[in-house]
Amino acid sequence: MTFARHVIVALAGLAIFTHVWPAQAEPAVKLPAATLDPAVKAKRATAVLAGGCFWGIEGVFQNVRGVISVESGYHGGSAATAKYELTHDGKSGHAEAVRIVYDPTQVSYGTLLRVLFSVGADPTLKNRQGPDVGTQYRAAIVPMDANQRRVATAYLAQIGKGKYYAKPIVVPIESYKSFYRAEAYHQDFMKRNPSNGYIMRWDAPKVAALKRLYPTLVRATPAP
């Protein structure tokens, strides 16, 4: 989605554009729990994940039990280009990403990955998700420590061998650089704009799929 069209959607909530969107979003896929997912005793940890437009990924994880907070932002490029208008051409190196603060005693890192690839993003797509195309919309795992990297590596191998998808998994594991918080109007976008055309077509179904596939993982009320 181009910068101009994304802004139009954000401001007007329109559902029809000259761009021809795919007939439907990628279907949800119920995945197994991670077989390598060691317990972490800390009450607070951070995960950085990318899965296309950050509006929907933020909205999904705000509904996961054990998540404390979620914020949308940019990862992969420099501070100078961590601005929405400078990332839409795909040349900044940034991916639209989310930073999740969570309680590992309630939800594990492996479970966050399970949710991401079950309902949030298709790991077989390179540099695109849904109607959005470009490196800024790539799905990616960004481990914050060695343990998260081990879990991520093992889980990608696990779901790849399980043949849950018709195509090979291509999602990368990226080294953490810096996470830059996105502009204020991107934060809590789904919660603040439930009737937005883009949200209703592409992102609300992700939250609905989360509730349908993993009801025990769903919070009573969304996290901030």
Is 53 designated active site? yes
Point out the catalytic residue in the list 50, 53, 57, 209. Answer: 53
- What are the DSSP calls for the chain, one per residue? --HHHHHHHHHH-----SS---SSPPPP---PPPSS------S-EEEEEEESSHHHHHHHHHTBTTEEEEEEEEESS-GGG-SHHHHTTS-S--EEEEEEEE-TTTS-HHHHHHHIIIII--TT-SSEETTEESGGG-EEEE-SSHHHHHHHHHHHHHHHHTT-SSS---PPB-----EEEPPGGGTTHHHH-TT-HHIIIIIHHHHHHHHHH-GGGB-SS---
Residues annotated as catalytic are: 53
